[in-house]
Structure 1
């Protein structure tokens, strides 16, 4: 055979070990990405499978071969769990353990009984099914990073087909009891595909992981940490390169005497009031509207509601907020809010312009006694 089987097996183990370290170190940097730790465990089990296959080849001890078969299919069951965790965020621990046992025990038990070739057919077939299924699932979620996830899906299918060929080659030979690893063209092809797949999948997942981090940082930079609403920067990013459409309604809200709330009840209580008001804005606004915290106790809503609709929205928010009782322990109080509304009535109106007009209307509400909504006096 022109390619040394043992060398390719060692290369497969080395690739799996390198990918295990990569996943683990990335997980240390981002503990919230638990799928990285799951995949690191899966790659560690692959390394264990390679080691035990090597021990079996050197000693012909069936125990080593049975353990290797168990580890190989267990690694793919763990990889499936990591894939679900990558997609949904939660590790399906119980289904993963059930799948691991169902996929790994039969082949390992049959190997231990001396029917090595039957075990090879079972183990390779199970691996092929799991890999092709994972490839199909990665194809389904390719929207997140199309090029990378489509390639990952393809690599899973390639590796799954190579395992299926291994099962076919052993079944074709028809020697159900044999000693040592089957060393045929399919096994060598499978190991070569394993090195390619492990290396390629590792690099592509590292890229996707970095893209996720970048997206997370971007979202965090545009989100108010306390309330979860958009922040001032998000508003200006949204309308930096374009003017607001005609008939857009803009309302600015400012909680009345909020400094007094903090002084009397503490900043923790004040934060609770801010969060409650943010949730009220989310409840009252429609899809397509933008609710943001401009800073401190000042909020803004950019709405498709124009004219009386925008004013009615601000009035509804004001009226509902004054009825909300804020409680923490024995502390109970209500709070009011003032608002100013401006409407974009002609083309070429920038965000700065309309915010300034809404802010002037807010000043009228404050000057006239608070807890009220005022309209902008001049058209925007």
Structure 2
């Protein structure tokens, strides 16, 4: 079955224009994501290029070949630039438009303009470069876990490979200029161009949606003051780890925090909480669950740690906090008490682990603060326990984390 090429080009133009409008409408609802606007403009420009290609023979070749292909190459450049914007990089619009500029400059050379293989080779090289660069940019941003990242990577890489494949074929299987418009090359170009527009719309829209959902989820799981996990996320993460492996729990409590608030003000107290997290987080092993329980209390679950190893981690954090100093507040000092407990069985109870760590934390407070105490250390004497019963009960109630 033979397809009418002007009809194919017109269909490609209509589909590409529709996709561009959808991108721009999405951007109007989420102005923060500049990539949507760039991708929208890219598809509108591509639709104009496809329409001019459809008018081949009805408008001058300088427009249907020269300008149309320059716009098409520029559209690919804008798609690459939009990918950069999505990944938080500079747009580099000058580089995005450089491909079209190179094409126009080449078309001013009569020998090049009259050679169909040369034109196909240059256009394919430039378009493939932009698609390949877009795929590489998406790959470099893989630290942000988005499911649609890999379909987008595969799509751009495949399209780059197809374009680069056209380069040797253009010279080894040349197409006479007199039959170029009727050749399968153009039918394939139109068909793949339409598929590309639709597919890229799906994956790029999915990417922006997944990012927005991830940001909302992270915001719901993050303590706004310190930037670490909040109680809900801490409990959920700890329970997931305990279900599959033994673990140790560290409970932190900043010593004399109320006096910091009273003496320096609540803004300095808030800064002290953030400073503690800034000190502690780099000292904790990878894969730990670190979060704020509330007030000046924090917790950290260490998967596959026994009590002794966990105590060494706690001591590093304690020493790091003890060394805190701020030039603007030379009289401000900080210390932290830490309670440590470990669960050697898979599927252990977080609540039980918390009670043991809380008991160790209480003993660290009662024996002088600024120290690490494990649940296996000797308990307080009976008289001291009796004198501190009320305080212990109060501390225990304040420290408990309950599953949401």
Which TM-score band applies after superposition, normalised by the shorter structure?
Answer: 0.7 to 0.9
Alignment match, 1:100: 97
CA RMSD of aligned residues (A): 3.9
Contact 2:67 2:104 in 1 (8 A): yes
1:288-307 to 2 correspondence within 5 Å?
288-303=287-302, 304-307=304-307
CA positional deviation for 1:354: 0.7
Alignment match, 1:75: 75
Contact 2:113 2:119 in 1 (8 A): no
CA positional deviation for 1:114: 5.8
Alignment match, 1:197: 196
Alignment match, 1:126: 122
User: Any gaps of 5 or more consecutive residues in structure 2?
Assistant: 379-404
CA positional deviation for 1:254: 1.2
Contact 1:104 1:123 in 2 (8 A): no
Q: Deviations over 1:31-85 (max 9, x none)?
A: 5544333322322321332354467754427357533232122222222333445
CA positional deviation for 1:274: 1.5
CA positional deviation for 1:153: 4.2
CA positional deviation for 1:208: 3.3
What's the TM-score once normalised by structure 1's chain length? 0.79
Q: Structure 1 residues 234, 127: closer, same or farther in 2, change over 3 A?
A: farther
Contact 1:170 1:182 in 2 (8 A): no
Alignment match, 1:13: 13
Give the 3-state SS of the residue equivalent to 1:240 in structure 2: helix
Distance in structure 2 (CA, Å) of the matches to 1:54 and 1:247:
66
Pairs aligned (count): 370
Q: Deviations over 1:138-167 (max 9, x none)?
A: 499499547734662476258637965995
Give the 3-state SS of the residue equivalent to 1:333 in structure 2: coil
CA positional deviation for 1:170: 10
Alignment match, 2:283: 284
Q: Structure 1 residues 157, 347: closer, same or farther in 2, change over 3 A?
A: closer
Distance in structure 2 (CA, Å) of the matches to 1:72 and 1:123:
13
Q: Deviations over 1:190-226 (max 9, x none)?
A: 1122112211221232233323333333333333333
- Shifted more, 348-357 versus 23-32: the winner is 23-32
CA positional deviation for 1:299: 0.9
1:1-380 to 2 correspondence within 5 Å?
2-53=2-53, 57-60=57-60, 62=62, 65-86=65-86, 88-91=87-90, 93=92, 97-98=94-95, 100-101=97-98, 103-112=99-108, 117-118=113-114, 121-133=117-129, 134=131, 138=135, 141=139, 145=147, 148-149=151-152, 152-153=155-156, 156=159, 160=163, 171-174=174-177, 182-240=181-239, 243=242, 248-303=247-302, 304-326=304-326, 333-345=332-344, 349-376=348-375
- Shifted more, 104-113 versus 239-248: the winner is 239-248
User: Any gaps of 5 or more consecutive residues in structure 1?
Assistant: none
What's the TM-score once normalised by structure 2's chain length? 0.75
Give the 3-state SS of the residue equivalent to 1:251 in structure 2: strand
Q: Structure 1 residues 45, 346: closer, same or farther in 2, change over 3 A?
A: closer
Distance in structure 1 (CA, Å) of the matches to 2:147 and 2:358:
42
Q: Structure 1 residues 51, 347: closer, same or farther in 2, change over 3 A?
A: closer
Q: Structure 1 residues 76, 213: closer, same or farther in 2, change over 3 A?
A: same
Distance in structure 2 (CA, Å) of the matches to 1:89 and 1:271:
30
Contact 2:306 2:344 in 1 (8 A): no
